[in-house]
Amino acid sequence: MRNRADLIVGIQWGDEGKGKIVDLLAQKYDAVARYQGGHNAGHTIWVDGVKHALHLIPSGVLNPKAINIIGNGVVVSPEALIKEMKQFDNLLGRLFVSESAHMILEFHCQIDRAKELLKADKAIGTTGRGIGPAYSEKIARSGFRLAELRDVDALCGRIEEYFKQNGAIYKAMGIEKPDMKKMRDQLSDFAKTLLPYITNTTKLAWDLLDEDKKVLLEGAQGTLLDIDHGTYPYVTSSSTISAGACIGLGLSPKDIGKVIGIVKAYCTRVGNGPFITEDSGKDGIRLGEQGHEFGTTTGRARRCGWFDAVGVAYASRLNGCDELAIMKLDVLDGFDEIKVCVAYEIDGKQIDYMPQDIDSAKPIYRVFKGWSGSVGVKKWDDLPENAKIYLQEIEKLVKTKISLISTSAERNDTIILD
Ligand code: GDP
Ligand code: IMO
Ligand code: MG
Q: Is 61's C-beta closer than 6 angstroms to any atom of ligand 2? A: no
pLDDT at 296: 77
Tell me: the pLDDT tens digits for 208-217?
Answer: 999 999 999 9
Tell me: the pLDDT tens digits for 101-140?
Answer: 999 999 999 999 999 999 999 999 999 999 999 999 999 9
Measured from the CA of 407, which atom of ligand 1 is nearest? 23
Neighbours of 150 (CB within 10 A): 12
292 has catalytic annotation: no
CATH 3.90.170.10 domain position(s) in the chain: 5-76+202-416
Mean of pLDDT over the chain: 96
The pick from 44, 221, 264, 272 for probing ligand 2's pocket by mutation, whose C-beta has the most ligand atoms within 8 angstroms, reads 221
Q: Does residue 319 register a pLDDT over 90?
A: yes
In DSSP notation, 300-365 reads PBPEEE-EEHHHHHHHHHHHT-SEEEEE-GGGGTT-SEEEEEEEEEETTEEESS--S--TT-EEEE
pTM beyond cutoff 0.85: yes
55 has catalytic annotation: no
Atom 11 of ligand 1, residue of closest alpha carbon:
17
Task: Give the distance (Å) from ligand 3 centre to CA of residue 288.
Answer: 15
Tell me the residues surrounding ligand 3 (ion) with CB < 5 Å: 15, 42, 296
Task: Give the distance (Å) from ligand 1 centre to CA of residue 410.
Answer: 9
Measured from the CA of 131, which atom of ligand 2 is nearest? 14
Backbone φ and ψ for 223, nearest 5 degrees, come out as -55, -40
pLDDT at 39: 98
Decide the pairing of beta strands 349-351 and 337-346.
Answer: antiparallel
b/e per residue, 49-65, with b = 16+ CB within 10 A?
Answer: eeebebbbbbbbbbbee
pLDDT at 270: 96
Annotated catalytic residue, options 23, 39, 43, 413: 43
CATH of domain 102-196: 1.10.300.10
CATH 1.10.300.10 domain position(s) in the chain: 102-196
Q: Count Cα neighbours of 279 within 13 Å in the Cβ-side half-sphere.
A: 20
Helices (H) and strands (E) in the chain, counts: 11, 20
List pocket residues of ligand 1, CB cut-off 6 Å: 10, 14-20, 42-44, 46, 296, 327-328, 330-331, 406-409
Q: Does residue 295 register a pLDDT over 90?
A: no
**What does the alpha-carbon distance between residue 249 and residue 105 come to, in Å, rounded to a whole number?**
22
Task: Give the distance (Å) from ligand 1 centre to CA of residue 378.
Answer: 17
CATH of domain 5-76+202-416: 3.90.170.10
Contact 242, 221 (CB under 8 A): no
